Structure 1
Amino acid sequence: MTTGGIATGHAVSPDSGRYWSDEGAWQVAEGIWRIPLPLPMDALKAINVYVVQGDDGLTLIDGGWSIPVARELLDKSLRSIDSGFGDIKRFLVTHVHRDHFTLATVLGHEYGAEVVLGAEEQPALELLHRASEADLGESPFLDMLRSAGAEEVAELWRQGHDGALPDAADWAYPDVWLDGDRTFDIGRRQIDAVHTPGHTPGHYVYADQREGVLFAGDHVLPTITPSIGFTAPPADQPLGQFMASLARVRELPDLRILPAHGPVAPSSYARVDELLAHHEHRLALCLASLTERGAVTSLVVARDLGWTRHERALGELDVFSQGMAAMETKAHLDLLVARGQASATDHPDGVVYTAL
């Protein structure tokens, strides 16, 4: 969901002076480079992988999607700063989504680099490994869509699945599971790993407070808010966790944002405040929909909301985006229930919500 006034794909990053997704190794601070890597079939266009130079080699924040074009571009970009895959000491992965994790784990296991991932991502990885062994049955997201009242969308998702199983090599388990916060000493740098659940249960941001930068992953994005409620197995109160995690980031110093998607941005404080205000506004809209309509499912409420920066109707979105919108709306409604502003009742057609 876009929260800024400019389309993410057309945002210019101050470190390069060009569209943020343009190819290159862009220096954002002394010893830190931003390398955008392409994403297939994704409106976000790219993911920013960050390279941090240390006395013992390179630390990469995230790794990119394990596809040939991304691997080749990462190799080329590292060579442009007189480095290579063999110089990578560790990957600090913000979360388990494939555009962040899969190339990190592939390269990590090929070159002996340590791969670090949040411990709360282990259930998702185990689910993927069961799927790679054809032991999962149908996608767990289908039941999540049905609980949101989106049975027709779930059926279209099911029909659109090509039957391909995840490649277990892309989802190898990490070398280190992060449990709680900790600090990594990287030469003269200290990088603080801060647990920020919400987008996924095991999401981490990494703060170099001395340098004044926040490797924000998908937690604090400069032009959009990350998907909420789109994670399997489903998390309890993902929006509540996300907003609490934003408050945790607000307790750090005001840092320059080095996001996974989008341009470098000047102030974590300013962006966190915008994101919190955005979701409070969405919560108010959801409550107004419940008050007007009575007992309804998440999908019905999602139809009352605008989507993307153009405030499009739900039916104008592609089927995949409609499903994500239904699940994100459910996350908002579940938080209203937790706040005592609504009730939830299980129903064969999906969870039904009522304003209190």
Structure 2
Amino acid sequence: MIPDDDPAADWTAGGPYLCAPGVYRIPLPLPQDGLRAVNVYAVPDGDGWTLIDSGWALAESRDLLAAALDRLGAGLGDVRRFLVTHIHRDHYTQAVALRREFGAHVALGRGEEVGLAEIHTSGRDPFAVHRTRLLRAGAGALAARIEQGRTADQGDMSLYEKPDEWIEDGAEIAVGDRHVLTAVETPGHTRGHLVFADDAAGLLFAGDHVLPRITPSIGFEPKPPQSPLADFLTSLQLVRSRKDALLLPAHGPVGMRVHERVDALLEHHGDRLDDTLAAVREGRSTAHAVAEALPWTRHRRRLAEMDTFNAMLAVLETQAHLDVLAERGAVTITLQSGVAHYTS
């Protein structure tokens, strides 16, 4: 018997769990990642299964996915299709690996075409764009640490193959005889991020766009757009304008309502913009200096207490907030030797 999902339980414990009629949540591991796990959702589809997202292409993840499907009376070869919310490795790479092995159909949002093309640029350094952004943020020492660690394992980059299908914004996708999913473009976390709305069943497969316990990183992708936070906030408003639904996130437990969580995220970013502006008015002019003044994570850590990777995300998120403040006319930007300085 497959247990019903329990929002109060350890959401990372191996599944499957019945989280809605005909929808099963399968958490898969993310070793060496603070998120700990990624939720893959399995939906019966004719004589096979459709999975929303796929997990990271690791032996442990593959084995646990196979075990979960076995409890559902299926195998890896019964997965006919992957609907992937975005190109980050914990969502996309296992789909490509299983396509190579079993021939599954892989579908991805059209907006991710730019990022995939960038990944396949000859001789590309995957962190070069982020180091450039760190230099603009006045975080030269942090950029140097990123440079020193750039040989760190990034996984099998060949798994970033093109999908079989590019999903267009607004596409309606039938899954079995009880679910019709509408693909909704929600750029911000990545430029081509999709959520899949099942309006009839009152469900939203939210990927990383709406998470129940954290706010996602903004614009951490191979080729970030001009203002990823502005895109993200607009996408939140778009989701808020749609019918409310049960939140089925990629990380964290189920059980929350979409509108409730979107409202909290919008409030959080509003507060963050206020705190960022206050730091500028105190005389902190660079994104790095502002990030040093702000608390981070639910544990309210300081920037100096964070590991290199998460410190980079924090500085880049601060820069994104400063750029939104500039777009709104609350601050002005002056470039000095390639470093952006913000004044109010």
Give the TM-score normalised by the residue count of structure 2. 0.94
| Residue identity (%) | 44
- Select 2:37's aligned residue among 46, 51, 56: 46
Kindly tell me the number of residue pairs found equivalent between the two proteins.
Answer: 340
| Contact residue 229 and residue 330 of structure 1 kept, 8 A | no
Q: How far has the Cα of 1:257 moved from its partner?
A: 0.6
Out of 83, 87, 93, the position equivalent to 2:74 is 83
Q: Which shifted more, 226-235 or 279-288?
A: 226-235
Instruction: Return the letter of the residue paired with 2:266.
Output: L
Q: Distance in 2 between matches of 1:165 and 1:47?
A: 18
For the aligned residues, what is the CA RMSD? 1.7
Equivalent pair of 1:36/1:49 in contact (CA under 8 Å) = yes
- Does residue 118 of the first structure (1) align with residue 109 of the second (2)? yes
Choose from 322, 331, 335 the match for 1:333.
322
Q: Distance in 2 between matches of 1:138 and 1:51?
A: 33
Higher relative contact order (CA 8 A, sep 6+): 1
Match of residue 139 from structure 1: 128
Q: Is the contact made by 1:106 and 1:169 (CA closer than 8 Å) also made in structure 2?
A: no
Report the CA distance shift for 1:16/1:341 in structure 2 as closer, same or farther (over 3 A).
closer
CA offsets 1:75-132 (integer angstroms, 9 cap, x no match): 11101100112211211100010000000121123322211111221222122223xx
Q: Paired residue for 2:9?
A: 18
- Misfit runs of 4+, over 4 Å: 135-138, 163-166
Who is 2:281 aligned against? 291
Question: Aligned partners of 2:126, 2:12: CA distance in 1, in Å?
Answer: 37
What is the alpha-carbon distance in structure 1 between the residues aligned to residue 251 and residue 203 of structure 2?
15
Q: Deviations over 1:302-330 (max 9, x none)?
A: 11111011211111111211111000000
Distance change in 2, residues 1:37/1:249 (3 Å): same
Q: Which runs of 5+ in 1 are unaligned?
A: 1-12
Q: CA deviation at 1:349?
A: 5.0
CA contact (8 A) 1:91 1:108 kept: no
Q: What are the superposed Cα offsets for residues 261-300 of structure 1, whole Å, 9 maximum, x if unpaired?
A: 0000331010000000000000001111111216x11001
What is the CA deviation profile of residues 40-62 of structure 1, one whole-angstrom value per residue up to 9, with x for unaligned ones?
Answer: 20111100000011225211000
Change (3 A) 1:346 1:221: same
Q: Give the whole-Å Cα distance in 2 for the aligned partners of 1:50 and 1:140.
A: 32
Q: Specify every segment of 5 or more residues in structure 2 that has no aligned partner in the other structure, as ranges.
A: none
Q: Whole-Å Cα distance in 2 between the matches of residues 55 and 16 of structure 1? A: 29
Moved more, 267-276 or 51-60: 51-60
Matched residue, 1:238: 228
What is the CA-CA distance between 1:168 and the residue it aligns to? 4.0
TM-score by length of 1: 0.91
Cα separation, 2, equivalents of 1:17 and 1:299: 37
